[in-house]
Amino acid sequence: MEHVRVTFPTVRLVYIDGEESGNTNEVLRVDAGTHLFALGNLANYRPASRKVMVRDTTALEPLQIRFFRKDAA
Amino acid sequence: MKHALLAGLLLLAACASFKPQNPPLAKYAPQAGYRFEHLEPGDNSDRLFVILTFSGGGTRAAALAYGVLEALRDTTIDWQGRRVSLLDEVDVISSISGGSFPAAYYALRGKRIFDEFPEKFLYRPVQSELIKLALSPASWPKLAAPAYGRSDLAAEFYHREVFAGATYAEVIARKARPFVILNATDMSTAAQFPFIQDQFDLLCSDLAGVPLARAAASSSAFPGALTALTFRNYAGSCEYRQPAWVQLAAEDHASRANARRTARAENRLSLAAAGPARPYLHLTDGGVADNIGLRGPLEAIASVNHPWSVLQRMNQKKIDKLVVIVVNAATNPATGRDQSASVPGLVDTLTTAATVPLDNYSFDTVELLRRTVEEFDADARLVEGCNRLAARKGEQCALRLAVPHKVDLYPIQVAFDYIAAREERSWFKNLPTTFELPRQSIDRLRAVGRRLLGEDPQFQSLLQALGGCLAGGGRTC
């Protein structure tokens, strides 16, 4: 079992491989392998999605996957 | 003249073309069909998520599973301010072979199973009736056709005598949980083949048109005694789109990050390959791939890439308690082999070669459930422990590490191995695998299923947590 934390300034739904799977800024469980992370169809964040290999994480040190507001520097 | 007529009939049958029992799907429709998310939860809350698995083992397995269903019906719990039957909280049933008969019947008839199933199936000499049917000259022309086997004959019998002509359309129309998954094995890939629309999407076939009896017959097509069943693959004809994870997982070969996920992706790609690459599928007993029906649920618990992913629901904080009840009718018949110096015969050797790997695999599958539960517990304990340790150093050291959503897990096992008395355990472990058992044996199996469920320490913990009791069990209701 792997652990990720998808970060964003506000609470948003997290989509893993196109399926709703929890919220931003929380530790989420995911199986190892390459996954596609996104925050849904809203256009005000970047990048639009992130393709990430998830492996060798722990619950203490989840992989951080960062998203930003589009208007942020 | 008589012989010539018979030969003619057989020749005619042999030339008969294959008539698929699984219709094509006109267009891929993810919003329709037999899928977990389309079933009305009703009063069944996801907060308490209950999965049952019914193993193979002929009528022995069917009766044991039925006994557990009866016990769950008679178990009441306090849940969300109501007194409910634990059976009403069951979300998923995954079944194999003999266990697929009560599972399918429950999917079709709900609680009417308790009035109808014992006489329709359990106490019936199904095996004798099947043999009589196969030996009847009326069946010979059909059996002579290359695309028709003994399991097709059995499927027709179950269709007529057990499931009253029902197809999956009737199960879909009920829109009720539990989501019942009958499992067979794809002979060519040795992969598990679940009878759900997500799987039939790959074949561009509509599960709604498949007789429930055919699914049960595929799941219980015990190799040798029964033949595999043939299904038509229409892949490429319905504009099917694989879920996003499939391509991602298929690109993970070299990274070796998750070989099981990659294999699942490749299996989906192989079934859905246009052409189709495999125009026909041959399904045999579900026990060949997994004799306890637990592999699918384990994938659902440990993967976000699953047609009814439990992990997704955990991440969404929808599940607080996860209960997995494994009903395993595995036996270990005594043998006189070691009383003699004689070299074991061919049948003995082949039977051992066929069954021992399955039994070992079943053992490992149950171990995998235990390890998965431990992994969840260990993760939660680790983070909570770190937070506690840091907090003891003072407020300035508080870590406040985020904890994954906490889920209480209850792995429950009903198996003859847990019968305390040696003599009684031995009696159950020597019951044969057949579709016909004496009435007294059936009654003992039903009773022991109920008793073993009540005695399971995890089941007792669950009842304690939910203020529950099993009527006739240790606690007063």
pLDDT of residue B395: 79
d(Cα B214, Cα B216) in Å, to the nearest integer? 5
Work out the pLDDT band at B8, boundaries 50, 70, 90. low
**A61 close contact with B: CB closer than 8 A:** no
Contact status, residue B434 vs residue B58, Cβ threshold 8 Å: yes
Portion of chain A with pLDDT greater than 90, in percent:
85
Which among B316, B376, B403 has CB closest to A22? B316
Work out the pLDDT band at B334, boundaries 50, 70, 90. confident
d(Cα B163, Cα B168) in Å, to the nearest integer? 11
A27 interaction partners in chain B (CB closer than 8 Å) = 383, 402-404
Pick from B71, B44, B413, B477: nearest CA to B468? B477
Strand order in the sheet with A13-16: A19-23, A13-16, A33-38, A50-54
The residue count of chain B comes to: 477
Helical pair B58-73 and B439-455, crossing angle rounded to 10 deg: 50
Q: Do A59 and B403 touch (CB under 8 A)?
A: yes
Task: Report CA dihedral (B336, B338, B340, B345) to the nearest 10 degrees.
Answer: 80
Searching chain B, which residue's CA lies closest to the CA of residue A34?
Answer: B248
User: Bigger pLDDT: B106 or B337?
Assistant: B106
Work out the pLDDT band at B473, boundaries 50, 70, 90. low
Question: Does residue B475 carry a pLDDT above 90?
Answer: no
- What global pTM score does this model have? 0.94
pLDDT of residue B347: 84
**Distance (Å) from the C-alpha of residue A67 to the closest C-alpha of chain B?**
18
Q: Do B258 and A31 touch (CB under 8 A)?
A: yes
Question: Does residue B404 carry a pLDDT above 60?
Answer: yes
- Mean pLDDT over the full length of chain A: 94
Which among A14, A54, A59 has CB closest to B382? A59
d(Cα B411, Cα B164) in Å, to the nearest integer? 35
Searching chain B, which residue's CA lies closest to the CA of residue A52?
Answer: B248
d(Cα B158, Cα B151) in Å, to the nearest integer? 10
**A11 close contact with B: CB closer than 8 A:** no
**Distance (Å) from the C-alpha of residue B255 to the closest C-alpha of chain A?**
8
Secondary-structure breakdown of chain A: helix, strand, coil percentages, each rounded to the nearest 5: 0, 50, 50
The full 3-state SS of B331-370, as one line of letters, equals: CCCCCCHHHCCCCCCHHHHHHHHHHHHHHHHHHHHHHHHH
> Which H or E element spans position B146?
none
Work out the pLDDT band at B203, boundaries 50, 70, 90. very high
User: Bigger pLDDT: B363 or B127?
Assistant: B127
Work out the pLDDT band at B358, boundaries 50, 70, 90. confident
pLDDT digits over B278-322, tens only? 999 999 999 999 999 999 999 999 999 999 999 999 999 999 999
**B258 close contact with A: CB closer than 8 A:** yes
**Distance (Å) from the C-alpha of residue A8 to the closest C-alpha of chain B?**
15
**A60 close contact with B: CB closer than 8 A:** yes
pLDDT of residue B300: 97
Beta-bridged to residue B412, according to DSSP, are: B325
B262 interaction partners in chain A (CB closer than 8 Å) = 33
d(Cα A24, Cα A29) in Å, to the nearest integer? 13
Question: Does residue B30 carry a pLDDT above 80?
Answer: yes
Beta-bridged to residue A3, according to DSSP, are: A29
Overall average pLDDT of the B23-44 stretch: 93
Overall average pLDDT of the A47-60 stretch: 95
Overall average pLDDT of the B427-454 stretch: 97
Worst-scoring range by mean pLDDT, B76-90, B193-207, B240-254, B389-403? Answer: B389-403
pLDDT of residue B333: 83
**A71 close contact with B: CB closer than 8 A:** no
Work out the pLDDT band at A43, boundaries 50, 70, 90. confident
Question: Does residue A73 carry a pLDDT above 70?
Answer: no
pLDDT of residue B16: 57
pLDDT of residue B476: 61
Q: Do B257 and A32 touch (CB under 8 A)?
A: yes
Read off the tokens for B200: 């039939």
Which among B243, B257, B309 has CB closest to A55? B257
Work out the pLDDT band at B426, boundaries 50, 70, 90. very high
Residue with token string 């490429």: B236
Overall average pLDDT of the A59-71 stretch: 93
Searching chain A, which residue's CA lies closest to the CA of residue B315?
Answer: A22
**B316 close contact with A: CB closer than 8 A:** yes
User: Bigger pLDDT: B392 or B399?
Assistant: B392
**Distance (Å) from the C-alpha of residue A16 to the closest C-alpha of chain B?**
8
Read off the tokens for A58: 């722990």
> Which H or E element spans position B114?
helix B113-117
Searching chain B, which residue's CA lies closest to the CA of residue A51?
Answer: B248
d(Cα A26, Cα A6) in Å, to the nearest integer? 7
Overall average pLDDT of the B88-106 stretch: 97
Beta-bridged to residue A15, according to DSSP, are: A20, A38
Beta-bridged to residue A63, according to DSSP, are: A4
Q: Do A5 and B248 touch (CB under 8 A)?
A: no
> Which H or E element spans position B170?
helix B168-174
Question: Does residue A72 carry a pLDDT above 80?
Answer: no
**A4 close contact with B: CB closer than 8 A:** no
Portion of chain B with pLDDT greater than 70, in percent:
95
Read off the tokens for B396: 């300035």
- Mean pLDDT over the full length of chain B: 92
Searching chain B, which residue's CA lies closest to the CA of residue A62?
Answer: B402
Portion of chain B with pLDDT greater than 90, in percent:
74
Work out the pLDDT band at B7, boundaries 50, 70, 90. low
Pick from B160, B175, B183, B156: nearest CA to B100? B183
Contact status, residue B221 vs residue B229, Cβ threshold 8 Å: yes
Work out the pLDDT band at B2, boundaries 50, 70, 90. low
d(Cα B461, Cα B458) in Å, to the nearest integer? 5
d(Cα B153, Cα B145) in Å, to the nearest integer? 12
Searching chain B, which residue's CA lies closest to the CA of residue A22?
Answer: B316
Read off the tokens for B138: 């009326």
Count of beta carbons in the 10 Å neighbourhood of residue B232:
18
Q: Do A1 and B376 touch (CB under 8 A)?
A: yes
**Distance (Å) from the C-alpha of residue B265 to the closest C-alpha of chain A?**
12
pLDDT of residue B13: 52
Most A CBs within 10 A among B305, B388, B403, hence the mutation to make, goes to B305
Strand spans (E) along B33-89: 48-54, 75-79, 82-85
Read off the tokens for B260: 């099981």
Worst-scoring range by mean pLDDT, A19-28, B197-206, B218-227, B438-447? Answer: B218-227
Searching chain A, which residue's CA lies closest to the CA of residue B375?
Answer: A1
**A50 close contact with B: CB closer than 8 A:** no
